[in-house]
Amino acid sequence: MNITKNTASDRLSFWEKLYLPEIAKGMALTFKTMFEPKFTRSYPEEKMTPSPSFRGRPVLVVEETGGRCVACGLCSRVCPALAIEVRPGPIDAEKERMPKVFEINMLRCIFCGFCEEVCPEEAIVMSKDYELVFTSPEDAILPKDKLTVPIAQLQDRLEWLRQYR
C-alpha cells in the first residue's frame, strides 16, 4: 500500500503554503539581526584577550634580577606528555643553579597546566598566548630564549594563581 499521508504539502498550513508571509517573517529576523551588536569577531584582524584563567602556551617568568627557574625538573617530571626537557647547570648566585637547556615541545604539550601547578618557584606559568603555528616539527620545540617572558606581562596570571591556586 502506498503512503499518501504526511507529504510536504500535508505538513504545511494554508498560510505557509502561501510563501509570502513566511518570507516577510524571515526578512524581519534578518533586518533585526543586522542592527543588533555583533558577537563574532573578524579574526585575525581583531584578537581575543583571554581571561587570566586561560591556559595558553607555558612560559618562563623573568624578573629584573634574572630568571626564576632553578631547573629542579619537577615540571619535566610531572608533564604527562614529556613535553618539557630540562638540563640544569650551576651558576654563581644564591640560587646555585639555573637551566642550561629548557625546551618545551609544543607538539607534545597538552596545556594541562601541571607544570605551573608543581613549580616551587612560580617560574613557569601558562600565558595568554594561543597563536601557536609552526611550519616544521623542529620549530615547535621552543628553546629557553623563546620561552622567557618579562614578569610585567604576566601580572594578571600570577595574581590569579595567588587567589585561586
Q: Report the interface residues with other proteins, using CB under 8 A.
A: 70-74, 76-77, 82, 85, 87-90, 95-97, 103, 105, 107, 120-121, 137-138, 141
* Residue among 52 and 72 whose Cβ is closer to other proteins: 72
**Nearest distance from C-beta of residue 148 to other proteins, angstroms:** 18
Sign of CA dihedral 159, 114, 88, 139: negative
**Nearest distance from C-beta of residue 117 to other proteins, angstroms:** 14
* Residue among 18 and 81 whose Cβ is closer to other proteins: 81
Q: Residue 92 and residue 8: Cα distance in Å, rounded?
A: 83
* Residue among 55 and 95 whose Cβ is closer to other proteins: 95
Q: Residue 119 and residue 53: Cα distance in Å, rounded?
A: 17
**Does the N-terminal peptide bond of residue 44 adopt cis geometry, omega within 30 degrees of 0?**
yes
**Nearest distance from C-beta of residue 25 to other proteins, angstroms:** 57
* Residue among 41 and 77 whose Cβ is closer to other proteins: 77
**Nearest distance from C-beta of residue 115 to other proteins, angstroms:** 13
Give kind and range of the element (H or E) at residue 85. strand 84-90
Q: Residue 115 and residue 79: Cα distance in Å, rounded?
A: 6
Q: Which amino acid is at 120?
A: P
Which residues are CB-neighbours of 67 under 8 A, at least 6 positions away?
60, 61, 98, 99, 123, 148
**Nearest distance from C-beta of residue 123 to other proteins, angstroms:** 10
* Residue among 96 and 156 whose Cβ is closer to other proteins: 96
